[in-house]
Structure 1
């Protein structure tokens, strides 16, 4: 994770599967060569940046229910 990533030009987007009722949503922003992830309820909070490969594994694990909070 790059602690000095400039996020000022990041174009954040929330999944189309997310509703408007809050809940457990994340937002992502493509930042070549990484993908940034943040909690949509805390946009000024911490940001995780992953390589495209690591992001694909993260999405797969989430889709299969392998991520637990």
Structure 2
């Protein structure tokens, strides 16, 4: 599912395709121009983590290498 950059004030949250059928332990993410927001899907009203675009790219690169 392609996800484009969004404004941080109006994030479009999505769950990973790897979340599977387990709805009790999921993270949600939202992309925006300077990075990615990550939150606990069970507590969406709680604060979220902000990850810079550079850190997110490094994370994705390292996970792809491990498989």
Short-chain TM bin = 0.5 to 0.7
Q: Mind listing any 5+ residue stretches in structure 2 that lack a counterpart?
A: 1-6
The worse-fitting range, judged by mean Cα deviation, of 6-15 and 46-55 is: 6-15
TM-score (structure 1 length as normaliser): 0.63
Q: Mind listing any 5+ residue stretches in structure 1 that lack a counterpart?
A: 1-5, 64-69
What is the CA-CA distance between 1:62 and the residue it aligns to? 7.3
Size of the alignment, in residue pairs? Answer: 59
- The alignment partner of 1:23 has SS state of coil
Aligned CA distance change for structure 1 residues 44 and 7 (closer, same or farther; 3 Å): farther
Return structure 1 stretches of 4+ with deviation > 6 angstroms. 60-63
Return the structure number with greater helix share.
Answer: 2
Match of 1:45 in 2: 46
RMSD of Structure 2 on Structure 1 (CA): 2.6
